[in-house]
Structure 1
Amino acid sequence: MLLPSLTVVIPVYNEEDNVKPLFEALQSALENYAGDWFVIIVNDGSRDGTSARLNACVDEYGERFQHIELQRNFGQTAAMQAGIDAAQTELIATMDGDLQNDPADIPRLVRELLERDLDLLQGWRKHRQDAMVSRKLPSRIANKLIQRVSGVKLDDYGCSLKVYRADVVKQIRLYGEMHRFIPVWMATVCPPHRIGQTDVNHRARMAGESKYGISRTFRVVIDLVTVFFFLKFRARPGHFFGSIGLWVGMIGGALMSYLVFIKLFLGADIGDRPLLLFASIMIIASLQFLTTGVLSEILSRIFFQTTNVRSYKVRKPLVCDLSDAPKETEKAQDSAPQTNATDNA
Structure 2
Amino acid sequence: MLTAAKSLGAYAENTLTVELSLVVPIFNEEESVGPLIDRVQEAMSGYADRWELILVDDGSTDATLANARAAIGRPGLDLQIVALQRNFGQTAAMQAGITQARGRLIATLDGDLQNDPRDIPGMVAELERRELDLLVGWRKNRQDGLLLRKVPSWIANRLIGRITGVRLHDYGCSLKIYRGSIIKQVKLMGEMHRFIPAWVAGVVPSSRIGEMPVTHHARQHGVSKYGISRTFRVILDLLSVMFFMRFKARPGHFFGSLGLGLGALSSLILAYLFVEKFIIGNSIGTRPLFLIGIMLFLSAMQLITTGILAEMIARTYYRDESTVNYIIRDVYNGDHPNP
Q: TM-score, normalised by structure 2?
A: 0.83
Match of 1:247 in 2: 261
Structure 1, 13-22 or 141-150: larger mean CA deviation? 141-150
The equivalences for 1:63-78 within 5 A come to 63-78=77-92
Q: Distance in 2 between matches of 1:144 and 1:258?
A: 46
Residues 275 and 144 of structure 1: CA distance in aligned 2, closer, same or farther (over 3 Å) = farther
Q: Distance in 2 between matches of 1:57 and 1:37?
A: 16
Match of 1:219 in 2: 233
Match 1:117 to one of 128, 131, 156: 131
Match of 1:237 in 2: 251
Residues 253 and 107 of structure 1: CA distance in aligned 2, closer, same or farther (over 3 Å) = same
Residue by residue over 1:223-246, the C-alpha shift from the partner in whole angstroms, topping out at 9 and shown as x without a partner, is 223222221112222211111112
Match 2:105 to one of 81, 88, 91: 91
Q: Distance in 2 between matches of 1:181 and 1:269?
A: 55
Structure 1 residue 193 and structure 2 residue 204: aligned? Answer: no
Structure 1: gaps (5+ residues): 309-345
CA contact (8 A) 2:41 2:77 kept: no
Residues 217 and 258 of structure 1: CA distance in aligned 2, closer, same or farther (over 3 Å) = farther
CA contact (8 A) 2:43 2:117 kept: yes
Match of 2:160 in 1: 146
Instruction: Give SS of 2:217's match.
Output: coil
Structure 1, 18-27 or 7-16: larger mean CA deviation? 18-27
Residue by residue over 1:170-199, the C-alpha shift from the partner in whole angstroms, topping out at 9 and shown as x without a partner, is 111111211111111112211111111111
Structure 1 residue 173 and structure 2 residue 187: aligned? Answer: yes
Q: Distance in 1 between matches of 2:230 and 2:100?
A: 28
Match of 1:44 in 2: 58
Larger RCO (CA within 8 A; separation ≥ 6) = 2
Q: Distance in 2 between matches of 1:300 and 1:78?
A: 21
CA contact (8 A) 2:108 2:176 kept: yes
Q: CA deviation at 1:87?
A: 0.6
CA contact (8 A) 2:18 2:102 kept: no
Structure 1, 92-101 or 216-225: larger mean CA deviation? 216-225
Aligned residues: 306
Structure 2: gaps (5+ residues): 1-16, 323-339
Instruction: Give SS of 1:38's match.
Output: strand
Match of 1:15 in 2: 29
Q: CA deviation at 1:59?
A: 3.7
Structure 1, 77-86 or 66-75: larger mean CA deviation? 66-75
Q: Distance in 2 between matches of 1:39 and 1:87?
A: 9
Instruction: Give SS of 1:160's match.
Output: coil
Match 2:284 to one of 245, 266, 270: 270
CA contact (8 A) 2:135 2:177 kept: yes
Residues 177 and 300 of structure 1: CA distance in aligned 2, closer, same or farther (over 3 Å) = closer
Aligned-residue sequence identity (percent) comes to 53
Q: CA deviation at 1:27?
A: 1.3
Instruction: Give SS of 2:71's match.
Output: helix
Structure 1 residue 132 and structure 2 residue 132: aligned? Answer: no
Query: What is the identity, as a one-letter code, of the residue corresponding to 1:104?
Result: R
Residue by residue over 1:122-165, the C-alpha shift from the partner in whole angstroms, topping out at 9 and shown as x without a partner, is 11112211111111111122222222322222221111000000
Match of 1:293 in 2: 307
Cα RMSD (Å): 2.3
Q: Distance in 1 between matches of 2:106 and 2:58?
A: 19
Match of 1:341 in 2: none
Residue by residue over 1:59-108, the C-alpha shift from the partner in whole angstroms, topping out at 9 and shown as x without a partner, is 44554122221121111111111111111110000000011111111111
Q: Distance in 1 between matches of 2:321 and 2:221?
A: 45
CA contact (8 A) 2:107 2:178 kept: yes
Structure 1, 288-297 or 210-219: larger mean CA deviation? 288-297
Residue by residue over 1:27-85, the C-alpha shift from the partner in whole angstroms, topping out at 9 and shown as x without a partner, is 12111112111111111111112112111123445541222211211111111111111
Instruction: Give SS of 2:309's match.
Output: helix
Q: Distance in 2 between matches of 1:150 and 1:254?
A: 36
Match of 2:13 in 1: none
Q: Distance in 2 between matches of 1:258 and 1:125?
A: 60
Residues 73 and 297 of structure 1: CA distance in aligned 2, closer, same or farther (over 3 Å) = closer
Residues 252 and 126 of structure 1: CA distance in aligned 2, closer, same or farther (over 3 Å) = farther
Instruction: Give SS of 1:17's match.
Output: coil
Q: TM-score, normalised by structure 1?
A: 0.82
